[in-house]
Structures are given as structure tokens and as C-alpha cells.
Amino acid sequence: MIAVDGVSVRYGAVTAVESVTLAVPAGRVLAVSGPSGAGKSSLLWAIAGAVAPAAGQVAVDGVQIGSRAVAAAHGVVLIPQGNGLARVLTARENLVVPLIAERTPDLDTVVTQALTQVGLAESGDHLVEELSGGEQQRVAVARGLAQRGRVVLADESTSELDGANRELVLALLRAEADRGAAVVIATHDPTVAETADAHALLDEGRLSWLRPF
Ligand SMILES: Nc1ncnc2c1ncn2[C@@H]1O[C@H](COP(=O)(O)OP(=O)(O)OP(=O)(O)O)[C@@H](O)[C@H]1O
């Protein structure tokens, strides 16, 4: 369960998120959309503990998220916009790094399974910079899946995918919810938002409309 309570995010004089309150139960998917600059990424970063809210608070399963370290320790996984992969590592190595940090058992199996789920079982030993934009995006999704989070935050994770791969990634994110995760998808794509259990619209940082759970 994600509880966002009156959260504001500011960068100096810029207000990116203003007094947003919402909740995402375990097992459900929330889509967050809104125009470019509306604050979608900033809201996800606040949930991930990657930026400290200027006001309000975020809790995951009742634990207040005060930093990225706390969020990671409580299973908050961020699949960042622009994929966040290390380009000079292989696809497989990109998946391994966070799992080493978490001391995940049976790491090779977990990594192979995640790459297979996104249809990239044969590409694990390719450097990220050798992969297409869409393949890189799927590696980023696989890295998120491999971490088996209690919370999965997907920031525009289908933006570079063709129709079939977009359906695949959406099905995988739905499977994360079915496994018990609370899932948030930031998206510009109305068809992606329609597949979610609830849909929040941000406008200049404010929650301007909500299709509730
Ligand atoms: N690190 C930063 N420093 C200063 N301003 C920032 C920073 N990150 C984001 N902003 C500003 O905060 C506002 C919200 O940006 P954010 O990236 O959260 O929006 P978004 O809805 O995700 O946009 P997009 O759809 O283009 O990714 C924008 O005005 C942006 O310029």
C-alpha cells in the first residue's frame, strides 16, 4: 500500500508537485498522466525516496519513506524514464547490480527469468549501447521485475515500444500487481491509462482529476 499524503515537491523556486494526496493498495495499478512538466516523474521520485518532499509524506505499508535507502529497503522499485541503464555494461550486468546490493539468492535464475519475460533471453550478453531504444526500455523493465518489489513505479516504460511489446510490458506490470505489488505507471498514452485500475491526472503539479479504484 502506497500512501501519498499532501506531498509537494519543489526544486528551488519551481513547484513540481503541489499537495497531492492519493493511495494505491497492494495488488492494484494506478496510472498517472498529464502534460509534459505536470510533475509525474517528480511524484514517482518522491514515492521512491529519490527526492525529499517539501511538504507532506509518503508511506509504504505504514513505513515513512525518508530516503532512497529506506525506500529500497522496503521494496520500492523505480523503472526510470529514459531507462537509467549503464550503457557500458551488458543487459545481464544491469540486472545483476541491484540484486547484488539486495543479496538476492539464485541470482542467475532470477536474471534469466526476467530477461526471458521481456523477450530478451538472447540479448543478455549485449552491451546496452548495442541495443535499440525499445530493447533498452525492455531491459529496464526486466531490471525492475527482477527486484520483485512491493511497490513498482514505471515512468513512461512503454514510450518507445511497438504495439506488441507495449502489450507485453503492460501484462508484466499487471502480473506484478497480481503478485501483490502496488504499481504506479506514469504515462502520456491514454490507452495505457485505460488499462489501469485507477487514473490520476496531474496539471501543473496538482491532482486535477481522478478515476478512483
Ligand atoms: N532536477 C530538477 N531541477 C529543477 N527543476 C526540475 C527538476 N526536475 C524536474 N523539474 C521541473 O519540475 C517540473 C515537473 O517535472 P517532471 O519531470 O516531474 O514532470 P513530468 O510530468 O514527468 O514531465 P514529462 O512528461 O515531460 O516527463 C517541470 O517544470 C520540470 O522542469
The response to whether residue 124 sits with its C-beta less than 6 Å from ligand 1 reads no
Q: Which residues pair with 13 in a beta bridge?
A: none
CA distance 16 to 121: 38
CA distance 166 to 194: 13
The response to whether residue 39 sits with its C-beta less than 6 Å from ligand 1 reads yes
Q: What is the interface pTM, i.e. ipTM, of the complex? A: 0.97
Minimal CA–CA distance to 32: which of 213, 212, 157, 188?
188
Q: Which atom of ligand 1 is nearest to the CA of 186?
A: 22
pLDDT digits (tens, 9 = 90+) for 76-102: 999 999 999 999 999 999 999 999 988
Domains with residue ranges and CATH for the chain: 2-211 (3.40.50.300)
Do the Cβ atoms of 89 and 166 come closer than 8 Å? no
The response to whether residue 42 sits with its C-beta less than 6 Å from ligand 1 reads yes
C-alpha of residue 38 to centroid of ligand 1, in Å: 7
The response to whether residue 16 sits with its C-beta less than 6 Å from ligand 1 reads yes
Total-model pTM: 0.97
Q: Which residue's CA is minimally distant from atom 6 of ligand 1?
A: 11
The response to whether residue 40 sits with its C-beta less than 6 Å from ligand 1 reads yes
The response to whether residue 9 sits with its C-beta less than 6 Å from ligand 1 reads no
Per-residue pLDDT, 104: 86
pLDDT digits (tens, 9 = 90+) for 149-179: 999 999 999 999 999 999 999 999 999 999 9
Q: Which residue's CA is minimally distant from atom 2 of ligand 1?
A: 11
Per-residue pLDDT, 18: 98
Per-residue pLDDT, 103: 85
Q: Which atom of ligand 1 is nearest to the CA of 156?
A: 27
Q: Which residue's CA is minimally distant from atom 13 of ligand 1?
A: 16
Q: Which residue's CA is minimally distant from atom 3 of ligand 1?
A: 11
Per-residue pLDDT, 102: 81
The response to whether residue 180 sits with its C-beta less than 6 Å from ligand 1 reads no
C-alpha of residue 17 to centroid of ligand 1, in Å: 9
Handedness of CA 9, 142, 127, 164 (dihedral sign): negative
Could you write out the DSSP letters of every residue in the chain?
-EEEEEEEEEETTEEEEEEEEEEE-TT-EEEEE-STTSSHHHHHHHHTTSS--SEEEEEETTEE--SHHHHHHTTEEEE-TT----TTSBHHHHHHHHHHHTT-SSHHHHHHHHHHHTT-GGGTTSBGGGS-HHHHHHHHHHHHHHT--SEEEEESTTTT--HHHHHHHHHHHHHHHHTT-EEEEE-S-HHHHHTSSEEEEEETTEEEEEE--
Average pLDDT over all residues of the chain: 97
pLDDT in tens, the chain (213 residues): 999 999 999 999 999 999 999 999 999 999 999 999 999 999 999 999 999 999 999 999 999 999 999 999 999 999 999 999 999 999 999 999 999 988 888 999 999 999 999 999 999 999 999 999 999 999 999 999 999 999 999 999 999 999 999 999 999 999 999 999 999 999 999 999 999 999 999 999 999 999 999
